[in-house]
Amino acid sequence: MVRSMTGYGRVDEMKGSMRLAVELRAVNHRFQEILVRLPKNWNMLEDRIRKQVARYVRRGRVDVTISLEENDAISSAVAINWDVAEQFLQLSREMDQRFSLETPLSAKDLLLFPGVIHTNDTQETDRDEVAEWVQSVVNAAAEDLLSMKTVEGEGLQADLVHRLLSVNTWLEEIRQLAPSCTKEYHSRLQQRLNEWATQAPFELDQQRLAQEVVFFAEKSDISEEITRLASHCHQFSQQLEKDEAVGRKLDFLLQEMNREANTIASKANHLRIQHLAVEIKTELEKMREQVQNVE
């Protein structure tokens, strides 16, 4: 089924003191291009994440932004290193005795010495565990992106099917008119030549004139163009049902369909057929605009 190249996916999760946010933005691009932005301490995950996202994106550019933050108020708690505090206190007493000082240390004084106060991480998490968590959230965000791309793709497919139906309807009318178009052109050309022959100051080779009439009438025949355009329409319909990246194939088919419609409009000496060919070309142009958004 058709999927859009544009979409958005985001997942936010908390794990202990850490907050993880993964955001994916997909836009149109001729090929598959995935750009990953990670916190500087987690750049080693870039290649793995790019491969993860690639499983969900067949064509288009995707910007993957990952932020990993830790709440210091939650993750850290203040603690006293009693061994260090006792060492400072013992040194203070020895200095008092040696220099006959009377400067007892207060608790406030002890807390100011380096190493007496330190923080303990209350939510120490293994880096491998965090890496697995990041990859899991990336998958969830990619699923969210895929869901949006699929919904938009359904809308694109419905619109393309509707427009293709119009093209087939007009093409069938052209098919019905084509035989009479050639006959009418043959008759008009023969009539004009006959009128001119009666006024010519010399005798004309009637057999040669008849051959030329047939030749020019055959040049206005559009049966081959009708057959090719119908075949392209059928292939276009088949591509819409495939579960793969079909955007570039659809764009190519539309170019070929437009070429056949141009030829029909230029060759057919029939007002109604020319009008229908213009209608087909207009609809094909609208379809091509839509196909630019298809994966």
Mean pLDDT over the full length of the chain:
85
Distance CA 116, CA 122 (A): 18
Hey, which bits of the chain come out as E strands?
A: 7-15, 18-27, 32-37, 60-70, 76-80, 117-121
Distance CA 105, CA 86 (A): 11
The whole-number pLDDT of residue 75 equals 47
128-142, 164-178, 190-204, 211-225: the lowest-pLDDT one: 190-204
Decide which of 199 and 163 is more confident: 163
> With a threshold of 0.85, does the pTM exceed it?
no
The whole-number pLDDT of residue 186 equals 60
CB of 11 closer than 8 Å to CB of 137: yes
Q: Is 72 helix (H, G, I), strand (E, B) or coil?
A: helix
The whole-number pLDDT of residue 91 equals 82
Phi–psi pair at 158, nearest 5 degrees: -60, -40
pLDDT tens-digit series, residues 125-171: 578 888 999 999 999 999 999 999 999 999 999 999 999 999 999 99
pLDDT at 61 over 70: yes
